Homo-oligomer: A and B are copies of this chain.
Amino acid sequence: MSGEIVHVLGAAGFAGAQLAALVDGHPHFALGTVTARSDAGLRLVDIYPEYRVTATMTELDVAAIAPGDFAAVCYPHAEASELVATLVDRGVRVVDVSADHRLHSAALYPEVYGFTHPREDLLAEAVYGLPELHREAIRGARLVANPGCFPTAALLALAPVRDHVIHVVVDAKSGVSGAGRRPTASVHFSSVTESVTPYKVLTHRHAPEIAQEFGQEVLFTPHLVPADRGLLASCYGRFVGDTPHPDDLLEAYRRFYAPHPFVEVVDAPPGMHAVQHNNFAQVFVTTEPRRGLFVGFGVIDNLVKGAAGQALQNLNLMAGRPETEGLG
Binding site for B on A (CB under 8 A): 14, 49-50, 52, 167, 169, 171, 173, 175-177, 181, 183-185, 187-199, 201-202, 217, 219, 221, 223, 225-230, 232, 234, 236, 238, 266, 269-274, 276-277, 282, 286, 288, 291, 293, 295, 297
Are B198 and A297 in contact, with the CB atoms below 8 A?
A: yes
CA gap between A197 and B189 in the complex, in Å: 14
- Contacts beyond the supplied A189-B189, A199-B269: 12 A-B pairs with Cβ under 8 Å: A49-B282, A169-B169, A169-B171, A176-B188, A181-B190, A188-B188, A193-B228, A196-B230, A196-B271, A197-B270, A197-B272, A198-B269
Is the beta-carbon distance between A202 and B274 smaller than 8 angstroms? Answer: no
Q: How many of these chains are in the complex?
A: 4
Given contacts A188-B189, A276-B50, contact A194 B230 (CB under 8 A): yes
A234 with B217, Cβ < 8 A, contacts A189-B193, A189-B226, A286-B202 known: no
CA distance A183 to B192 in the complex (A): 12
Residues of B within 8 A of A227 (CB): 193-196, 226
Q: Which residue of chain B has its CB nearest to the CB of A234?
A: B171
**In the complex, are the beta carbons of B196 and A232 less than 8 A apart?**
yes
**B295–A202 touching, CB < 8 Å:** yes
Specify the chain B residue showing the minimal Cβ separation from A303: B190
Nearest CB on B from A230, distance (A): 6
A188: which B residues are within 8 A, CB to CB? 176, 181, 183, 187-189
- Whether A183 contacts B173 in the complex (CB less than 8 A), given A272-B196, A291-B217, comes out as no
Complex alpha-carbon distance, A44 and B52, angstroms: 30
A–B pairs, 6, beta carbons within 8 Å: A169-B236, A193-B227, A194-B227, A195-B271, A197-B269, A223-B234
Closest chain B residue, CB of each to CB of A293: B219
Residues of B within 8 Å of A219, CB to CB, are 236, 288, 291, 293, 295
* Distance between Cα atoms of A183 and B196 in the complex (Å): 19
Q: How distant is the Cα of A223 from the Cα of B271 in the complex, in angstroms?
A: 10
- Within 8 Å CB of A189, what residues of B? 176, 187-189, 191-193, 226, 228
Hey, which chain B residues are within 8 Å of A276, CB to CB? 50, 194
Q: Please, which residues of chain B bring their CB within 8 A of the CB of A236? A: 169, 171, 219, 221, 236
A199 to chain B, nearest CB (A): 7
Give the chain B neighbours of A223 by CB distance below 8 A.
173, 232, 234
